[in-house]
Amino acid sequence: MRKLPLNTPTPAHTAQGLAGHSARHDSAWKHVSGQARYIDDLPMPEGILHAAVGHSQQAHARILSMDLEAVRAYPGVVAVITAGDVPGHIDIGPVFPGDLVLADDIVEFIGQPLFAVAATSHEAARKAAKLAKVQYEPLDAVITVNQALDKELFVRPSQTQVRGNPDQALSEAPHRLTGEQVVGGQEHFYLEGQACLAEPTEDRGMFVHTSSQHPSEVQKLVAEVLGLPIHEVQTEVRRMGGGFGGKETQAAPVACVAALLANATGRPVKYRLSRPDDMIQTGKRHDFFNTYDIGFDDEGLILGANIMVAGRCGYSPDLSDAIVDRAMFHADNAYYLDQARVTGHRCKTHTVSNTAFRGFGGPQGMMIIEQAMDDIARHLGQDPLDIRKRNLYRPGRDVTHYDQTIEQHVLPELLAKLEASSDYRERRSDITRFNQSSPVLKRGLALTPVKFGISFTAQHLNQAGALVHIYTDGSIHVNHGGTEMGQGLYIKVAQVVASAFQVDLERVKVSATRTDKVPNTSPTAASSGSDLNGMAALDACEKILAGLTGFAARNWSVSPDAIRFSDNQVQIGDLEMPWETFVQAAYMNRVPLSSSGFYATPKIHYDPKSGKGHPFLYYSNCAACSEVVVDTLTGEYRVLRTDILFDAGRSLNPDIDIGQIEGGFVQGMGWLTTEELVYSDDGQLLTTGPATYKIPAVSDCPPDLRVTLLPDSPNREATIFHSKAVGEPPLMLGIAVWSALRDAVSSLTDYRFSPPLDTPATPERVLNAVTASQAWAGKQQEAS
């Protein structure tokens, strides 16, 4: 890999919209005028049918019989298929086996698809699917993480990472605390539900428009269920109405059902999930049960830690192995644990198979150490920020419990800056004073850091391809393996390409992601979209540029050093010509104007057996300071102000990055506060729509929200123009809100008691924490 120059000064005259400029989202006008098309908006092909599936009503059972006569007889129904009708593979597990496209013998969660219906309308398909008569023989069902832990029921083997001798360190430590927590799951609630449109092509092939973060996996799995070679199936993703991880693996089953029905009927089939079906049928963020046992000195410096994280994976592995891995990789968050053991369990339950969600287990892992930070501070009577700062990784204390050395120490300075810019200390004393005089409302403050590892932990996924064409009028067309879900990946890659050729951004168009343009793509996930695809696109540009430079040098007899691309012009020695003129000349001289590009992330490796390695190319760093006010009568609360300082390296597009940061923060806040997934004891999801599942609404946005990008902080790794990933890390900034809620409640005990506060910290859980704190204070009074 060519080392990119760290300092590329911006010339006075430059093309418009290059990398570093806050260009608008490429679909901005289409978004605001309703012209951006999502799957359900596509023109409907002749003869189109609509799909729905019938759901299992039991969490764990054997299917004794399935009477589908009434389904078949419903007006408008054209086809009904079951597992027996699948011509190819029936198991569509993305990494490990275990996910059947349609259940055959055993069902393992309420909502599992049993059969699929194609009908002439969406409504007819849904109504028909409700008419099946299914008989079950119930089997023992395991619903919660703790039930699975008790029974040692796991979807994948447990893993442990150990450094040194944590047991000895714990027993010798001057102070030792233990704690546990339940960290709730989270529904993605992408505004556009899962959707796809499958159209049969000649040679029994299939073309699938899908709303997926992973078009290549959709392609592969559709080919497998149809029993076709992959080249007979192509998929296209123009855009998603939100993904957040929920369309990484979860779009494929939807596409497979549509393709099976299209194959069975020979007609195009659209399958879009209604909101309740989407919430019942598709995986969510794993809820976790975590414990810690931590030893520390009088200053709160951690000497030893024994941490356990256990995620509810649901009935199948899906991506849970990597997700619990990432929880383990982030059980330290930003802190040096010294002698440490981190154990991760992948709990099997008879609930929907949980899946990727922004942060991918990292947030759930971080929660346990952040709880410990607050608990240590209360135990020692110190400010939690001091405990956090003291334990940060820094030179000399810079090796993680999985043996990766932290090479760029951003957080000590970043935290100091945020502490100053948020007036943390002054506000801390203001708040303490306020709380002493306010009988009902209590304010809380917390400043929490995030260190998040960047790269897929599955090494092979860290690759990307791109395809760049220059047309004879100088306009440029780009495809790459990344998908657009609102995060602005297309515009960022377009800016990279514009920068490579030093032409105006408007000359560059990125079009829909297609498996026949760029093959074998990785999912757009792990915050890697612009890191991977930006580099692949740049590689394609550089290949074209090499050819163009060689041509110019030959054609005009100048040294290659004398050729420069800048401000929509090409300088060839003393000659200067407009970009499009130069492109024309190249074309007339039969010089290639198109190239593919490729990128593979260097340096990364990890050995799960030893629990050691270098799984991340680098770490993304940020911190948030949040202030809340809590009503101790009802547990209701509001976030009053949030300050965020974020290291995006040399940002490709500062405004787009700030959009990711704010949106991620609010999403993380929602995860930890109002977003509550409620299951019945027998495993039925009870919160199946926005009436009962409450994502943040407009009034939840902090009225005072200050987001700043850390200046002068280029990535030391050779990432695309030395930017840093921004997709997932800000989600974990929401932890500041949770910690601030605990801080507010802790004021009831003069900050001596660290109240338990499982998440989501709904008003009810906050009131429980208030009650526990009041009880603790009451006991203290009795004792004294």
Partner 1 sequence: MIEFLLNGRIEKVDQFDPNLSILEWLRTKMRLTGTKEGCASGDCGACTVITGTADQDGRTHYDAVNSCITLLGSLHGKELITVEAFQQEPRHPVQQGMMEKHGAQCGFCTPGIVMSLTALHANRKDGTVSHEQILEALSGNLCRCTGYRPIIEAGQDAMVKEWTPDTEHPAAGMAPGSSESALSRIHQNNITIKAAGGARYDAPVSLEDLRSLRRAYPESRLVAGSTDLALEITQQLASLDHLVSVERIPELKGCVLEGDELVIGAATTYQAFRASLCELWPAFDPMLERLGSLQIRNRGTLGGNIANASPIGDMPPPLIALNAILVLDGPDGQRSMPAEEFFLGYKKTALKSGEFLHSVRIPAPKTNETLHIYKVSKRLDDDISAVLGAFRLTITDGVVSDCRLAFGGMAATPARALKTETTLRGQPWNDHSVAAAMNALGSDFSPLSDVRASASYRLQVAGNLLRRAWLSSDSLPREQLTVTDYA
DSSP letters for 691-747: TTS----GGGS-SEEEEEEPSS---SS--GGGB---SSGGGGGGHHHHHHHHHHHHG
For residue 89, the tally of other CB atoms under 10 A from its CB is: 17
Of 100, 106, 103, 125, give the one whose Cα is nearest residue 114: 103
Kindly tell me which of 33 and 65 has the beta carbon lying closer to partner 1: 33
Taking CB under 8 A as the criterion, the residue among 15, 17, 19, 27 binding partner 1 is: 27
Select from 24-32, 305-313, 528-536, 708-716 the region that touches partner 1 (CB under 8 A): 24-32
Write down the least CB distance from residue 727 to partner 1, Å.
Answer: 11
Give yes or no for residue 38 binding partner 1 (CB under 8 A): yes
Task: For residue 355, give the amino acid letter.
Answer: T
User: For the chain, how many helices (H) and strands (E)?
Assistant: 19, 29
91-150 residues near partner 1, rule: CB under 8 A: 121-123, 126-127, 130
703-732 residues near partner 1, rule: CB under 8 A: 705
Kindly tell me which of 564 and 638 has the beta carbon lying closer to partner 1: 638
Angle between helices 362-380 and 735-746 (to 10 degrees): 30
Q: Residues binding partner 1: what is the number (CB under 8 A)?
A: 92
Q: Which helix or strand (DSSP H or E) is residue 251 part of?
A: helix 251-265
d(CA 15, CA 506): 10
For residue 159, the tally of other CB atoms under 10 A from its CB is: 17
Taking CB under 8 A as the criterion, the residue among 40, 167, 383, 682 binding partner 1 is: 40
Q: Are strands 339-348 and 302-314 parallel, antiparallel or unpaired?
A: parallel
Taking CB under 8 A as the criterion, the residue among 76, 564, 700, 751 binding partner 1 is: 700
Q: Assess whether 728 carries a catalytic annotation.
A: yes
Write down the least CB distance from residue 518 to partner 1, Å.
Answer: 22
Taking CB under 8 A as the criterion, the residue among 764, 775, 778, 779 binding partner 1 is: 764
Give yes or no for residue 599 binding partner 1 (CB under 8 A): no
d(CA 497, CA 737): 39
Of 686, 675, 756, 668, give the one whose Cα is nearest residue 143: 686
Select from 22-30, 93-101, 344-352, 585-593 the region that touches partner 1 (CB under 8 A): 22-30
Residues 6+ apart with CB under 8 A from 336: 302, 391, 392, 393, 394, 397, 398, 399
459, 604 contact by CB (below 8 A): yes
- Phi, psi dihedrals of residue 446, rounded to the nearest 5°: -155, 145
Kindly tell me which of 164 and 689 has the beta carbon lying closer to partner 1: 689
Scan for tokens 């930070």, then name that residue. 373
59-98 residues near partner 1, rule: CB under 8 A: none
Kindly tell me which of 420 and 686 has the beta carbon lying closer to partner 1: 686
Give yes or no for residue 698 binding partner 1 (CB under 8 A): yes
Select from 220-228, 344-352, 546-554, 664-672 the region that touches partner 1 (CB under 8 A): 664-672
Kindly tell me which of 493 and 629 has the beta carbon lying closer to partner 1: 629
Write down the least CB distance from residue 673 to partner 1, Å.
Answer: 8
d(CA 186, CA 244): 11
d(CA 342, CA 365): 10
Write down the least CB distance from residue 438 to partner 1, Å.
Answer: 6
174-233 residues near partner 1, rule: CB under 8 A: 188-193
**Could you tell me how far CA 619 lies from the centroid of its own chain?**
15
How is residue 76 annotated by DSSP?
T
Taking CB under 8 A as the criterion, the residue among 405, 557, 699, 781 binding partner 1 is: 699
User: Exactly one of 299, 728, 764, 782 is catalytic; which is it?
Assistant: 728
Taking CB under 8 A as the criterion, the residue among 1, 11, 29, 716 binding partner 1 is: 29
Q: Take residue 588 and report the two structure tokens written for it.
A: 């007339």
Taking CB under 8 A as the criterion, the residue among 196, 198, 240, 308 binding partner 1 is: 240
Q: Pattern of binders to partner 1 over 255-284, x per CB under 8 A?
A: -------------------xxx--------
439-478 residues near partner 1, rule: CB under 8 A: 439-441
DSSP letters for 487-527: S-HHHHHHHHHHHHHT--GGGEEE--EETTTS-SPPPS-TT
Kindly tell me which of 239 and 389 has the beta carbon lying closer to partner 1: 239
For residue 44, the tally of other CB atoms under 10 A from its CB is: 12
Write down the least CB distance from residue 8 to partner 1, Å.
Answer: 25
Taking CB under 8 A as the criterion, the residue among 324, 537, 656, 757 binding partner 1 is: 656
Kindly tell me which of 31 and 72 has the beta carbon lying closer to partner 1: 31
Kindly tell me which of 544 and 628 has the beta carbon lying closer to partner 1: 628
Taking CB under 8 A as the criterion, the residue among 663, 727, 755, 756 binding partner 1 is: 663
Residues 6+ apart with CB under 8 A from 733: 448, 450, 622, 623, 624, 642, 644, 661, 664, 665, 668
| Sheet of strand 463-470, all strands in order from the earlier edge strand to the far edge | 508-510, 476-480, 463-470, 594-600
The three-class DSSP label of residue 470 is strand
Write down the least CB distance from residue 128 to partner 1, Å.
Answer: 10
Write down the least CB distance from residue 75 to partner 1, Å.
Answer: 10
| Sheet of strand 154-163, all strands in order from the earlier edge strand to the far edge | 154-163, 339-348, 302-314, 288-296, 175-183
639, 626 contact by CB (below 8 A): yes
Task: For residue 502, give the amino acid letter.
Answer: Q
How is residue 349 annotated by DSSP?
-
d(CA 162, CA 585): 62
Kindly tell me which of 455 and 762 has the beta carbon lying closer to partner 1: 762
Residues 6+ apart with CB under 8 A from 41: none
Rg (the chain; Cα; Å): 27
Write down the least CB distance from residue 192 to partner 1, Å.
Answer: 5
Taking CB under 8 A as the criterion, the residue among 250, 568, 754, 762 binding partner 1 is: 762
Q: Take residue 248 and report the two structure tokens written for it.
A: 């990484």
Of 275, 164, 254, give the one whose Cα is nearest residue 208: 254
305-364 residues near partner 1, rule: CB under 8 A: none
How is residue 146 annotated by DSSP?
H
Select from 301-309, 407-415, 603-611, 656-664 the region that touches partner 1 (CB under 8 A): 656-664
Select from 294-302, 503-511, 582-590, 630-638 the region that touches partner 1 (CB under 8 A): 630-638
Q: Pattern of binders to partner 1 over 484-523, x per CB under 8 A?
A: -xxxx-----------------------------------
Write down the least CB distance from residue 450 to partner 1, Å.
Answer: 16
Write down the least CB distance from residue 637 to partner 1, Å.
Answer: 6
Select from 198-206, 409-417, 543-551, 686-694 the region that touches partner 1 (CB under 8 A): 686-694
414-443 residues near partner 1, rule: CB under 8 A: 438-441
Kindly tell me which of 27 and 339 has the beta carbon lying closer to partner 1: 27
Write down the least CB distance from residue 441 to partner 1, Å.
Answer: 6
d(CA 659, CA 486): 10
Kindly tell me which of 299 and 700 has the beta carbon lying closer to partner 1: 700
| Catalytic positions | 728
